Amino acid sequence: MKRFPAVAGQFYPHDAAELEAFVRKVMEQAFVEARERPVALISPHAGYIYSGQTAAYSYKLLSAFDFKNAIIISPNHTGLGVPVSIFPEGEWITPLGSLKVNEEIAKKIASSFKADVEAHLMEHAVEVQLPFLQAIRKDVKIVPITVMDQSLDTMKELGKVLASCLNPKTDIVIASTDFSHYIPDDEARERDSKAISAIERLDEDLLYEYLKKYDISMCGYGGVAAAMLYAKEKNAKKAKLLYYDTSATASGDKSAVVGYAAMYMY
C-alpha cells in the first residue's frame, strides 16, 4: 500500500529541490543544545511558511541521536475513519522519497485499537512531519496514528500501549499539534504558556484542566497526553520548551494567530 502526498504544494513545496532547500535552511537556523536524549517530541503541523521554523527545533534536537522508528500521533482534522486509527502497512510517499511503515509495531498497537487507512488519506498532520524526518534519517520507519477520540482515558490507554510496544533507545514518539487558534497574538502566548507549563511537568491531567480553564484551542492535545504518559512509563522526568512562535512572525497579522511549540520529553 502506498499513501501519496495529500498536501504537497499547499502546506509545503511539492518540488523536491525546493522542499529540501527549505528544510535545510530552517534546520540550520535552529540552534539547539542537544544534551538529553528525547523520549518524545512535540512538533507543529501548519504550513511550513508559518510553523516550519518551529518544527525544525524538534528535528534539530532529534538529529543528534540515533533512532530507527518514528511513531507519529496526530489529531484527526477530516472526521474520517475510526476513533484511534493505526496505519497498518506499506509506505508513505513525499517529494523526497518514501518511508516504510514498521508493520510489526503497527500491528502490535492495532491489536489494542484498530488498523485503518481512511483516517490517513487526507490528513496533513502526520504528512508534514515526514520531510523533516527524511532530512535527518532517510531509512527511518514510521507508524502513523491519527486520533479522533482525544478523551483523557483513551489517550492514557494509548500511552500505555505505546510503552508496551516501544523501546526509547530505538523509537521516538512525535506528537503533532498546533496550540491556540485564531486569537490575538498576546492572548495566544499567554494561554499557550499555561499548556506548556503543564506539559513541562508531564502532567496530562493538569493539561486537560488548563485546556478547559483557559479555553486553549490546542488541536492535538490528545496525542501530547499520550506522549506524556508514554514518556513517564519510560522514566522521563520532565519536558522542555525548545522554541515557541506564532503565525504573526510570518504573516505580520497579530489579530488572529496560531501558536506553535517545539518541545521534548526526557
Q: If you write DSSP's letter for every residue of 176-235 in order, what string do you get?
A: E----EEE-HHHHHHHHHHHHHHHHTT-HHHHHHHHHHTT---TTHHHHHHHHHHHHHTT
The domain that holds 16 is classified in CATH as: 3.40.830.10
pLDDT, one tens digit per residue, over 68-79 is 999 999 999 999
User: Stretch 176-203: mean pLDDT, rounded?
Assistant: 98
pLDDT of residue 191: 98
pLDDT of residue 184: 98
pLDDT of residue 244: 98
Across the chain, what does the average pLDDT equal?
98
Residue 53: domain span: 2-265
Written as nine digits, the cell of 257 is 494567530
pLDDT, one tens digit per residue, over 29-84 is 999 987 899 999 999 999 999 999 999 999 999 999 999 999 999 999 999 999 99
Looking at the 3D structure of the chain, how many domains does it have?
Answer: 1
Written as nine digits, the cell of 242 is 525548545
